[in-house]
Amino acid sequence: MQAQLLWRTLPSLVLGLLFLSMPAMGSCSDKYPELLGQLQKQADFMQHTNTLLDLYIRSQGLDKNGLKEHCRERPGAFPSKDALQRLSRRVFLRTLDTTLGHVLLRLAALEQDIPKAQDLEMLSVVKLNIRGFKNNIHCMAQLLPGSSETTEPTPTSPGASPSPTPTLDTFQRRLEGCRFLHGYHRFMRSVGQVFREWGKSLSRSRRHSPHQGLLKGARRMQLSGRNKRLMPRVQLAPGSHRGAPGG
């Protein structure tokens, strides 16, 4: 058991240090491919349920037949993969940043229901990772063309509110927490896929024009997002793309 915990904790710690490496240095990396690769790996890591959800389910006793089936993401709690893919890069990053901010708040609330120090330690590592990830998002946003232009409003996900209604009893709160974490991992998986697509477009652009790859890729994504920004499933705030860079 201790060994298992160690194996779970060690990669998290390493990743946490990776996340915090750039803020610790006080500046962002200006290497787009490197940063993109990091974000992708970090998202891939955070999508694994053993980093958070499994721990929560076990500590709350939700790992019982007839109960764990109800630990499913509530629709609308997090942006879907399609919705994320339709966003421009800038809006995507902002959405990601905002959503993870909500996740942090929610994790702080969930912390109250986790009594074991060991589990709390794991949770604090997860929070550390998310904060590092948010920092990398910030750095990535700076690398995108037109970063100095007007800031776009951030679309919010209604489901990713800081905490559920306080009147909920412990059981309902427990189930909601489980569903939320399920959605969080799914969300991070989608984020990873989006970043992977960014990487693919980068390599395609490099093959055609090494210098123009980044800009073209960014523009293509933005155009794509612009064309579909009014899709109702995304539930973005109106005018969220007015600051999209022209590239």
Partner 1 sequence: MRLTSILSEPLPWAPESLKVSINSTHQCLHLQWSVHNLAYHQELKMVFQIEISRIKTSNVIWVENYSTTVKGNQVLHWSWESKLPLECAKHFIRMRSAVDDATTPEQRFWSNWSSWEEVDVQNSLGHEPLFVFPKDKLVEEGSNVTICYVSRSQQNNISCYLEGVRMQGQQLDPNVSMFNLYDVAFIRETGTNIYCKVDRGDDIKGIVLFVSKILEEPKDFSCETRDFQTLSCTWDPGRDTGLLKQLPQSYTLFESFSGKKILCKHKSWCNWQVAPESQEMYNFTLTAENYLRKRSVHILFNLAHRVHPMAPFNVLFNDVSVTNATITWKVHSTGNYYTLLCQVELYGEGKVIQKHNVSVKVNGELVLSGLQPDTEYSAQVRCANANHFWKWSEWTRQNFTTVEAAPSEAPDIWRNVKSVQGYCVVTLFWKPLTRLQANGEILFYNIVVKDLDRPSGLQLLSVPAPANRTELTLDQRSYQIHVTANNSVGTSPASVLVVSGDPGDEEVEEERVKGTEGGFSLSWKPQLGNITGYVVEWCDRPRDPPCDLQWKHLGPNTTSTVISSDAFRPGVRYNFRIYGISTEMVPHLLEKKTGYSQELAPSDNPRVVMSNLTSHSFTLSWKDYSTESQPSFIRGYHVYLKSKAGQCHPGSEKAVLSDDSVCCKYKIDDPKQKTFVVGNLQPESFYEFLVTPYSAVGEGPHGAFTKVTTPDEYSPMLIRIILPMIFCILLIMILCYLKSQWMKEKCYPDIPDPYKSSVLSLIKSKENPRLTIMNIKDCVPDTIEVVNKHEGTGKSPTEPEAAKPTYLYLLPAEESYSGPGPCICFENFTYNQAASDSASCGHVPVPTKAPSQLGLLTSSENLLTALEKNCMNSLEEIPAGESSLNYVSQVASPMSGEKSSLPTNPPQPELCSEYKMQMAIPLGLAAPSSSGSSSLSSITLLDEGEHYH
How far, in Å, CA of 157 to CA of 154, rounded?
Answer: 10
Closest to partner 1 by CB, 3 vs 169, is 169
Among 26, 165, 169, 208, binds partner 1 (CB under 8 A): 169
Site for partner 1 contains 66 (CB under 8 A): yes
Contact pattern for partner 1 over residues 143 through 162, marking x by CB under 8 A: --------------------
Smallest distance from the beta carbon of 185 to partner 1, in angstroms? 21
Q: Which tokens belong to 70?
A: 């109800």
Closest to partner 1 by CB, 42 vs 60, is 60
Residues 6+ apart with CB under 8 A from 191: 43, 47, 84, 96
How far, in Å, CA of 230 to CA of 208, rounded?
Answer: 32
Site for partner 1 contains 233 (CB under 8 A): no
Residues 87-126 that bind partner 1 (CB under 8 A): 112-116
Smallest distance from the beta carbon of 83 to partner 1, in angstroms? 24
Q: Are 155 and 95 in contact (CB under 8 A)?
A: yes
Options 64-72, 73-81, 181-189, 198-206: segment touching partner 1 (CB under 8 A): 64-72
**Residue tagged 């491919």 (tokens):** 33
CA angle 235, 229, 224 (to 5 degrees): 140
Closest to partner 1 by CB, 174 vs 229, is 174
Smallest distance from the beta carbon of 150 to partner 1, in angstroms? 44
Phi, psi of 147 (to 5 degrees): -70, -20
